[in-house]
Amino acid sequence: MKKTWGGAFDKSPDDLAWRFGQSIESDSVLWREELDVSIAHARMLGATGIVPEADVIVSELEKIRAEIEIGSLKLPQDAEDIHGAIEAILFERIGEIAGKLHTGRSRNDQIATVTRLWLRRRCADLRRATRRLQSVLLELAERHQRDPMPGYTHMQRAQPITLGFHLLAHFWMLQRDVVRLDFVEKACEECPLGSAALAGTPFPIDREMTANELGFALPSPNALDATSDRDFIGDALHACAMIMQHLSRLCQEITMWTGAEYGFMRLDDSFSTGSSIMPQKRNPDFAELIRGRSGRVFGHWVAFQSMMKALPLGYNRDQQEDKPPLFDSVRLCVDSLALCAGMMETATFDVLRMKETACEDFSTATAVADALAATGMPFRKAHELTGKLVRECEKRGWTLMDLDESRLSEIGLEIPVSILEVVDVEGSIRSRDLPGGPGPEAMQRQLQKAKQLLRE
């Protein structure tokens, strides 16, 4: 077993205790960042004259990075953690000089730096995946900007909207996720490297240099805070939880809409699964799995907060437990975003069926009440009058769309004919054309605004 400590110990750790403490299985994913950070640190040790043999260390670390990259070198899985694994490989190759790499640093500032660097890079992946789903939704929204569908509240048909309008609502949810990801990235902008264990180092290291080389904005201002802080992980887990919550809502709609009760949508074969017993079935398994796995990501956030709660300052080994939830959440988010983009991009929508559904019931009643109120009638009265109109129509087996001048006068509620402009779904949608509405002008503006954001 490869250890980075032990000088003061007479005995090796108990087998189970050693395995219990190992994190190599999960933190192997940090290998590239571990090497990037070590290389930056070694270069700085050379440049400042602290370690004259730094060149040897740097070039060997670069070789190790390249070999892991192409798969010719595997990390020793008996190491304690990723730091121990890389250090062991380095020792094997350059001997005692390898020991100079750890001058002026500790695993505590190392893991804080490596994890921040990893997360900054994953923020870019997450943003790319979110942007991709947004652009799929935007393209669909543009195509279906005039296709009516029922808008729902309480899962009951409420007012007609368009499919494009509905899809853009999901676009804006994801836009807020992008803002949250920007925040997470900002939470990772300080570089803890050089904080050492908790109290800095006496070596004349150049913290600006390493921060710069690794793309951080600046060195962290307080070594104790820098090695204790895991806020950036909490922020990331929260951002991931919100993304998954949003995707779970999209996936719920996919699941409902692809069922015969709605019949709005059909998933492509490549994103559907069959049943082992019912040959006719097409199941939206991937939408369901995303919906289900969202729970796992919410759990990760709670697990993390519970682990951090009441931890005294200074590194505590508890903090090792921050990474598995982070890694799993980020991977699930990236995959789920990509799957949603794939599902939506290849799906087909039954726009006729959607329109028919929007025409059933009395979903243009609000538009009628609004039209009455526009004539000067108090809205409450208009609401009541429209209610009566709906009842009269129901008695006669008509929908609001079946109304014309003669039928209006037959009902005899003294309702002005101007309401006929909004009794059909298109009229109702057209009448809601102020910013934020589903009307054609408003949708154009919304589409433009969304496109602008994606271009940025």
Enumerate binding residues for ligand ARG (CB under 6 A).
Answer: 23, 27, 81, 107-108, 111, 315, 317, 319-320, 323
* Continuous H helices in 23-106: 24-27, 31-47, 54-70, 82-94
Which residue number, 81 or 190, has a Cβ lying nearer to ligand ARG? 81
* Distance in Å, CB of 341 to ligand ARG, minimum: 33
How far apart (Å, rounded) are the C-alpha atoms in residues 358 and 362?
9
* Distance in Å, CB of 94 to ligand ARG, minimum: 23
Which residue number, 48 or 320, has a Cβ lying nearer to ligand ARG? 320
Which residue number, 79 or 178, has a Cβ lying nearer to ligand ARG? 79
Nearest to 363 by CA among 124, 67, 159: 159
For 37, other C-beta atoms within 10 Å of its C-beta total 28
Which residues lie across from 148 on neighbouring strands? 162
Q: Which amino acid is at 431?
A: S
Nearest to 398 by CA among 343, 434, 454, 359: 359
Residue at token pair 């195509």? 143
Which residue number, 116 or 323, has a Cβ lying nearer to ligand ARG? 323
Which residue number, 98 or 111, has a Cβ lying nearer to ligand ARG? 111
* Distance in Å, CB of 1 to ligand ARG, minimum: 15
Q: Which residues are catalytic?
A: 154, 275
96-103: long-range contacts at Cβ-Cβ below 8 A with a sequence spacing of 24 or more? 97/53, 97/56, 97/57, 98/57, 98/60, 100/45, 100/51, 100/53, 100/54, 100/57, 101/38, 101/41, 101/42, 101/45, 101/51, 101/57, 101/61, 102/4, 103/45, 103/50, 103/51, 103/203
For 229, other C-beta atoms within 10 Å of its C-beta total 20
Please, what sign has the CA dihedral across residues 170, 176, 179, 181? negative
* Distance in Å, CB of 82 to ligand ARG, minimum: 7
* Distance in Å, CB of 322 to ligand ARG, minimum: 7
CA atoms within 13 A on the CB side of 148: 21
Nearest to 223 by CA among 254, 245, 192: 192
Which residue number, 207 or 230, has a Cβ lying nearer to ligand ARG? 230
* Distance in Å, CB of 114 to ligand ARG, minimum: 9
Task: Enter the tokens of residue 159.
Answer: 């007012």
